[in-house]
Amino acid sequence: MKEKVVLAFSGGLDTSFCVPYLKEEKGLEVHTVMVNTGGFSPEEELRIELRALELGAASHVNINVVEEYYQKGIKYLLFGNILKNSTYPLSVSSERIFQAMAVLDHVKKLDAAYVAHGSTGAGNDQVRFDLVFEVMAPAVKVLAPIRELSLTRMEEINYLQSKGFSFSWEKAKYSINQGLWGTSVGGVETLSSSGVLPEDAYPSQISLTEPVRIKIGFEKGEPVTLNGKRDTPVEIIRSINELGGKYGVGRDMHVGDTIIGIKGRVGFEAPAPLILVKGHHLLEKHTLTKGQLYWKEQLAGWYGQLMHEAQYLDPLMRNIEVFMDDTQKYVTGVVEAELRPYHFAILGCETPYDLMSSKFGEYGEANKSFTGQDVIGFTKVLANPLKIYYSVHKDD
C-alpha cells in the first residue's frame, strides 16, 4: 500500500503542481484538503475539488473554518487595531495557523505519514505551516516540493503541461490569496521596490464612483450592525468587503521583514479590515482612558508581531487576548464612514460611553470641572521636579 500524504490545496499553481509530483515522483497516495478562511464561494469550493481530483488526488475535502478564524483570530486583530507597519492588517499571515491546524486534523483522521504544502523557500508561509506541524505532530513528515526543488512558476507550468494538465501563464502570473480579512496579490511588480501592480491584478474592480456613507454599529468592540441592519460580524465583514471592493478601497502595498530575515513586498486589498480597524480605533479614542489606550497599543503591537511570525500557539497570546477582551467592555457605538474611489474616511462616532462629554467641558472652549486658578496651581506642581533639575544642572 502507498503511504498517504495530506496536501494543503488551494487550486493555485503551486499546490496544483504538488498533486501529480507527490503522486508520480514520490509514489504517495495524495489526499487534498482546502481550508476555507472566507475567500471561496461554494461554487469555487466545487471547482477546487474537481481540480484536485482531475490532477490525481485520491480524495478531497473542503473544510470551512471561517467562524473559528473570526472568533479566535480576526476579532483580536480588530480589538488591537492591528496594522503591521501601520499598513497591513495581517490578511494572509493570520489565516495560516487556522489552515494548518485544520489540515493537521485531517492528517490525523487519515492516519497519514506525510503532510505537504506548496510554500516556496523564500516566504513566511513555509514557517507558519511547518511550525504547527512540528509542535502539534512532530512524527508526521513535512514535504514542501516547491521549496525543495526551488522551482520557478514557469517550470511548474511546464511540468503540469508535460503531464497533460493545462495551466496558462496568464492564470499563474499573479499569486493571489483570498480570505475574509483581505486578499494579498504578489507578482513580478512586487519583486522590486518600485513596481506598481496594474489595475487588473486586483480581484475587485471599480464599478462605483459616487460617494456613499455607511454606519457601522459596534457592541463590545465587535461589528454588529451595518446601516442599522443587524447581522453577524462575519457577514458584516463580507458586506463591507463587497461594497468597498467596488470603490477600490483598501488597496495598498505592504513592505515588511519576513520571519526568515529578508524584506518582503506584497500588494493587498482589504476594504473591511481597514475601514473596521480605523472605525473601531476612533470609537476606542472616545471610550477608553489614556492608560488603557497606551497599554493596549503596546500589547496589541506585540500580539500582531507574534501572529505574523507564526507564534499563535504561544500561551502569551491567550494572556493578551484576556486583556483585550476586558478593554472592550464599553467600546459600543456607531461609526460613520464615507467611501469614494480609492479612498475612505472615518467621519465621526456616537457612543453612550463617550469620555469626550460636554458635561466636563469643551476642548479649547470652556471647562466645567476646574477653574483657571486651579490650572495655575497644577502647573506649578507639575513644573516643580523640572525646576529642581535645572537649578542643579544649569548647563543642560
pLDDT per residue as tens digits for the range 253-300: 999 888 888 898 999 999 999 999 999 999 999 999 999 999 999 999
Q: Say whether pLDDT at 171 is over 70.
A: no
209 vs 200: CA distance, rounded Å? 17
pLDDT recorded at residue 167: 80
- What pLDDT is recorded for position 258? 85
Range in 141-145, 182-186, 240-244, 274-278 with the lowest mean pLDDT: 182-186
Q: Mean per-residue pLDDT for 372-380?
A: 91
Torsion of CA 377, 378, 384, 385, to 10 degrees: 170
With cell 464561494, the residue in question is 41
Q: Across residues 123-140, what is the average pLDDT?
A: 94
CA distance 94 to 312: 9
105 backbone dihedrals φ, ψ, rounded to 5°: -60, -40
- Grade residue 366 by pLDDT with cuts at 50, 70 and 90: low
Mean pLDDT calculated for residue range 106-132:
94
Give the containing element (helix H, strand E) for 315.
helix 315-327
The model carries a pTM of 0.92
> What pLDDT is stored for residue 396 in this prediction?
84
Could you read off the pLDDT of 203-214 as tens digits, one per residue? 899 999 999 999
Query: Position of cell 481540480?
Result: 51
Query: Alpha helix (H) ranges present in 34-92?
Result: 42-55, 66-69, 75-79
1 vs 100 pLDDT, higher one: 100
Which residue carries 494548518 as its cell? 100
- Domains located in the chain, CATH noted: 4-177 (3.40.50.620), 181-350 (3.90.1260.10), 361-392 (no CATH)
Average confidence (pLDDT) over 37-59: 96
Q: What residues contact residue 3 under an 8 Å CB cut-off, 6+ apart?
A: 28, 29, 112, 113, 114
| Amino acid sitting at position 270 | A
Q: How many helices (H) and strands (E) does the chain have?
A: 14, 16
Place of cell 460613520: 336
What pLDDT is stored for residue 123 in this prediction?
Answer: 84
User: Is the distance from CB of 335 to CB of 327 less than 8 angstroms?
Assistant: no
Count of beta carbons in the 10 Å neighbourhood of residue 374:
11
Beta strand 333-340 pairing with 343-350: antiparallel
Share of the chain above pLDDT 70, in %: 96
pLDDT at 37 over 70: yes
pLDDT at 363 over 70: no
Query: pLDDT by residue (tens digit) across 180-202?
Result: 999 999 988 998 999 999 999 99
Long-range contacts of range 46-51, CB-CB < 8 Å, 24 or more positions apart? 47/11, 48/9, 48/10, 48/11, 51/11, 51/16
Grade residue 4 by pLDDT with cuts at 50, 70 and 90: very high
Please give the pLDDT value at position 170.
67
pLDDT of 161 above 90: yes
